[in-house]
Homo-oligomer: A and B are copies of this chain.
Amino acid sequence: MAKGNLLYAQSGGVTAVINASAAGVIETARKKGVRVLAARNGIIGALREDLIDTTKESTAAIAALRRTPGGAFGSCRYKLKSIETSRAQYERLIEVFKAHDIRWFLYNGGNDSADTALKISQIGKALGYPIATIGVPKTVDNDLAVTDCCPGFGSVAKYTAISVQEASLDVESMCESSTKVFVIEVMGRHAGWIAAAAGLAARKAGEPPHVILFPEIAFDEDRFLARVKATVERVGYCTVVVSEGVRNAAGQFLAEAGTRDAFGHTQLGGAAPVIAQLVKSKLGYKYHWALPDYLQRSARHLASKVDAEQAYAVGKAAVEYAMKGQNAVMPVIVRTSDTPYRWKIESAPLEKIANHEKKLPPSYITKDGYGITAAARKYLGPLIRGEDPPKYGKDGIPDYVRLKNVRLKKKLPKYSIEDK
């Protein structure tokens, strides 16, 4: 067995299943006799030499990670700049790796993280300390290239579809004398993957959601209002899903276009209230709106089984690839069959993934711009299948694990990321 330690770090917005990937990494490494260190708060911890010794965690604790949301070691929003502008940061990373005999670096994140992992691999070689870097895919945005889907997406998709289904049953019950239009805002600043998944709530034509507002389609106020009015007149109510990334014809985010607070500041983070107010002022319908925000991406209680399994599998594969001497790759999900849904894990070069972005195909949006097509259902449907509930305590609350996160003794001079 190769000598040395493996460093695992979580990056970017966390998901309901990123810890399942961590469990896949650690359990697989343990079987192979490899010690896993984890960086506290992602790459920030690697720079600061703030490292966790995962061998101090029990078998049960690591197993429980598989069903715990959030990022157990801490994640970060911190992007390394290019090697040209921030060479010192990359060199610092290599110093930390050397000091702790880190031979493999597994970076669990999205596009930016794939790029960082690629660069670290390159600079390591240049500095005479070859470090094998493997990306582990993760993002609720589902926008990574090459992989068929991204761990984290299936669970937010399932949460969103079920929330739309449940809230619509509520609104339908009350619409005769109360709320007629319900607006729910979902994540997706750049692409409408989550908005599209909301469409899975409708098992039959005509079921809610009645209108989906995609970031891919410029918002047309008159046409939208006509659609809402027609829906209310036909079925008594209207459920609208709006992506946070929806823009008007001028390219402004709806969430920032209309509303200001009492001090004149733009009111941030709310396409849903803008849409709801518009419906009220132009059509007079009573409305309610919801903005689940972090609830959607942390709802481990409602995780998709397929998603949880894939998240674990990419963590496991990453360790296997590392042990086989692969470098600058990412385990990706390959769909081998739609019906029955089958998938496998394959190795793909980070170069093909870093800085690419997978867009929602136009063929997934219906011609009217407000719904999803059969092609979208075929792709999205399998990703929300199966339930994988957490273990609940007797008190009715999930028994999510909190790790001890025992730190390694530092060997290097202190390093401040703020100075760089």
In the bound complex, do residue B290 and residue A292 qualify as a contact, i.e. CB atoms below 8 Å apart? yes
- Does chain B have a CB within 8 A of A387? yes
Assuming the contacts A290-B291, A292-B292, asked whether A396 and B158 have C-beta atoms less than 8 A apart, the reply is yes
Contact A174-B290, Cβ < 8 Å, known A162-B301, A261-B277: no
Count identical subunits in the complex: 2
The reply to whether A270 and B273 form a contact with Cβ atoms under 8 Å apart is yes
Give the interface residue-count category, chain A: 35 or more
Evaluate contact between B290 and A263: CB separation under 8 angstroms: no
Q: A219 within 8 Å of B by Cβ?
A: no
Asked whether, in the complex, the Cβ of B395 is within 8 Å of the Cβ of A385, the reply is yes
Cβ contact within 8 Å between A259 and B258: no
Flag if A381 contacts B395 (CB, 8 Å): yes
Residues of B within 8 A of A201 (CB): 397
- Could you tell me if B381 and A76 are in contact, using CB atoms closer than 8 angstroms? no
Chain B residue at minimal CB-CB distance from A73: B173
* 9-residue interface stretch from A97-105, A175-183, A356-364: A175-183
CB neighbours (8 Å) of A172 from chain B are: 70, 74
Give the contacting residue for A173; candidates B10, B178, B288; CB below 8 A: B10
Report A261 CB to chain B, min CB distance, Å.
5
Please, how many angstroms separate the alpha-carbon atoms of A400 and B168 in the complex?
12
- Which residues of chain B have C-beta atoms less than 8 A from A396's C-beta? 158, 161, 304-305, 384-387
In the complex, chain B residues whose CB is within 8 Å of the CB of A381: 395
Query: Is A295 an interface position by the 8 A CB rule?
Result: yes
Chain B residues near A166 (CB-CB < 8 A)? 16, 69-70, 295, 298-301, 398, 400
Provided the pairs A77-B174, A267-B267 are in contact, do residues A167 and B298 lie with their beta carbons within 8 angstroms?
Answer: yes
A165 is an interface residue with CB less than 8 A from chain B: yes
Q: Are A169 and B293 in contact (CB under 8 A)?
A: no
23 pairs, A vs B, C-beta closer than 8 Å: A13-B174, A70-B172, A70-B173, A71-B170, A74-B176, A75-B173, A166-B295, A166-B400, A167-B294, A169-B400, A200-B397, A258-B261, A259-B259, A259-B262, A263-B281, A268-B277, A269-B288, A269-B289, A289-B293, A290-B292, A291-B293, A295-B295, A385-B396
Residues of A within 8 A of B (CB): 10, 13-14, 16, 41-42, 44, 68-72, 74-78, 158, 161-163, 165-167, 169-174, 176-179, 182, 184, 200-201, 203, 258-263, 265, 267-270, 273, 277, 281, 288-295, 297-302, 304-305, 381, 384-387, 389, 392-398, 400
